Chain A
Amino acid sequence: MSEVAVKRRSAQRTSLWGWLLALPTAWMVAFFVSSMAIIVLLSFGRTTNDGYPVFATSTANYRAIWNEVYLELFLRSLTYAVATVVISVLIAYPVAYTIALHGGRYKNALIAAIVVPFFASYLVRMYAWKALLSDDGLVNSGLRHSGLTDGVTFLNTPYAVVGGLVYGFVVFTILPVYASLERLDTSLIEAGKDLYHSPMRTFFTVTLPATRAGLYGGVLLVFLPALGDFVSAQLLGGANTYMMGNLVQQQFAEGQNWPLGSALTVGMMAALTVLMVAYLRATSTQRRES
């Protein structure tokens, strides 16, 4: 093939891609960028006396979010989200590893068995947890029958909230880790073993680095929704487990303060962007080093 033909074909490909990109771009502008723009604009807005949010040029909402109580909430949410990520990774990696490397012909069935329950609404699953973990629920009845304890207070604790978040989002870690383990060339692991590495060392020097990308993705996919979630704290939480998501949700509902809710949203996005940039930089340097 001549050089010209190759060039022409690649030019054609570029323009085809351009066209293919038009639709998603239009979609994102119409539904994502525009709604984000409304939130940003509204964060400078105010509420009329009749309760209607209107656009304005006030910075009062940003001054209002600079509040000690909100900062504490942010730190609490951050702690819950980090705990959720750590637990999710500890659960997801072994599960994904076992299925990808030892699942054999049951691989797809096993993945389906993990994914299908997640088709049920998150909310319904939270209610199921409530039924299971309440003081007179199935788990506590079982514990009492076994004579081990007189019952444990599971519900309305920070543990229940984090547990709910893990249960809600762990699949988002399992899938990307599974995908990268699936693609892993198992001969690398054998090579590691041939070089007299212990299984442990092989795992940390060969397997883990090779699946880093999936793991990093899985971490983000759990961290972000966990940080903004309000359902788990609402249904499983107690008097002291209020999260940022609850705070924002309250402004849009009972609080009748959309502009403040918008400012909180923008503030949280800004904080998250800083965290994400730091995370992405750290992980990409690590990747380059390895």
Chain B
Amino acid sequence: MTRRPGLELPRPTRRGLLAGGLALGASMTLPGCAYIRDDAPTDAPLPESAKAEIDGDLVYFNWADYLAPSVVKGFEQEYGVKVIESNYDSMEGMYAKLAAGNQYDVVFPIAKWVVKLRQEGKVRQIDHDQLENAHQVFYSGSYFNNPWYDAGSKVSIPFTVYKTGIGWRTDRVSSMTGSWKDLWNDEARGHIFTLDDQDEALAMAALLLGYDVNTADPSELGDIKDLLISQKDYLRAYSSDDINNMMSGDAWVHHMWSGDVLYLRQGLADDPTTFDFEAPSEGVPINSDTYVIPTNAKHPGTAMVFIDYLLRPENAIKNMHYLYYPFPVKDALPAFAELAKDVPACNVEISDLENENVFRLLSAEETQRRAAVWTEVKAS
């Protein structure tokens, strides 16, 4: 699983694999008894922050190929340490490995998983005073001084932000309207894809109906189910492999992630104008990836140095040109605006972050109720 701009055959993206076949690996690596317990701790005291000092090689746990290799190599050379890489293919798989006691120095959870890890005391505090570049993300007025998922940014540092909208092939479809209704576009009937992702699919329908993206209300879920089933006449498939589906001509209209559109345009397409992206007017889900340091990390000091190194604007810019997702690093923002200047909808603004269309950590009962609806939609 590599993702290199300019490669002829696009490979599945890491989010594509989130729901993709490699979930096979995830379900196989879930540990048995270690995960089954009755006394899940909540609001445990947060372990102290480490000092930003090299204390060994870095054991790094992330989506496959989710940092520019040149940046990782640069870290190894500058600090004379090795970066030992491990990958996960779903947040569930990541969480299960941490819960089973596997030791990693730095992990990249999506926002709502930060909530869970913090509640359970599985991550350390990160002292901003230890990081030379902390001011790049925590400055006066920064959204990340107090993000919804981590009060006071005690345990997490923001990595990337992204939104979910609709991408389309301009050479095939000319009747886009800027609404989530475009996923019911007659012109693209049979060539429409919805993300194979419970939260994203339910959120898209919820926004169209004017409901909260996290709704677990049975009657609202009933409406969402009916709406999504009505979409099946237009759908080709549920898939999160958005880049490949668009490149291969199977998809003309795709429910997709902002950075993937930019990657298609800038990194893969012969003619970037073949692909466009809209952030529907009913509102779009916003999400963040973060850095955290697990409580049981063996080299938390090296992890602190690594995070600090990644916050350097020049490194954020290198990563942006590799991943095509915006990094909320102050001095790197103009470079991303430049990268996304032809499709500003791919950029994520402060106003987007404050729109509250974020995926929250729900109770198991609520998650299961939502899962049941999503299952019925896919199965019917």
**Chain A residues in the interface with B (C-beta under 8 A):** 35, 38, 42, 47-55, 69-70, 72-73, 123, 126-127, 130-131, 134-137, 153, 155-156, 230-231, 234-235, 237-240, 242, 246-247, 249-257, 260
Contact = CB atoms under 8 A, between A and B. Distances in A.
A137 B10 CA distance: 13
A67 to B, nearest CB: 8
B75 interface: no
Contacts of B174: none
B265 interface: no
A254 B371 CA distance: 7
Contact of B371 (A70, A130, A155, A251): A251
B244 to A, nearest CB: 7
A123 B24 contact: yes
Contact of B364 (A47, A235, A237, A238): A47
B368 to A, nearest CB: 5
Interface in B352-379: 363-365, 367-368, 371-372, 374-376, 378-379
A79 B32 CA distance: 33
A150 to B, nearest CB: 12
Contact of B249 (A69, A123, A134, A250): A134
Contacts of A127: 12, 21
Contact of B250 (A72, A156, A230, A237): A156
A61 to B, nearest CB: 11
B363 A49 contact: yes
Given A134-B249, A253-B92, A257-B371, A52 B35 contact: yes
Interface stretch (B54-62, B208-216, B230-238, B321-329): B230-238
Given A126-B21, A253-B90, A131 B248 contact: yes
9 contacts: A38-B32, A49-B363, A69-B380, A73-B379, A127-B12, A134-B250, A231-B24, A235-B20, A253-B27
Interface residues of B, number: 50
Nearest to B23: A253
B142 interface: no
Nearest to A126: B21
B250 A135 contact: yes
Interface in B108-140: 116, 120
Contacts of A240: 232
Residue of A42, A54, A238 contacting most chain B CB atoms (<10 Å): A238
A1 to B, nearest CB: 52
Interface stretch (B37-45, B150-158, B286-294, B341-349): B37-45
B222 to A, nearest CB: 14
A250 B38 contact: no
Contact of B365 (A49, A54, A55, A231): A49
B368 A47 contact: yes
Contacts of B378: 239, 242, 246, 250
Contacts of A153: 190
A137 B248 contact: yes
Contact of B21 (A73, A137, A234, A260): A234
Given A155-B250, A240-B232, A52 B36 contact: yes
B107 interface: no
B198 interface: yes
Given A250-B375, A254-B92, A238 B235 contact: yes
Residue of A137, A234, A252 contacting most chain B CB atoms (<10 Å): A234
A253 B26 contact: yes
B46 interface: no
Contacts of B350: none
A238 B368 contact: no
A250 B20 CA distance: 11
Interface string B44-86: 0000000000000000000000000000000000000000000
A52 B40 contact: yes
Contacts of A247: 375, 379
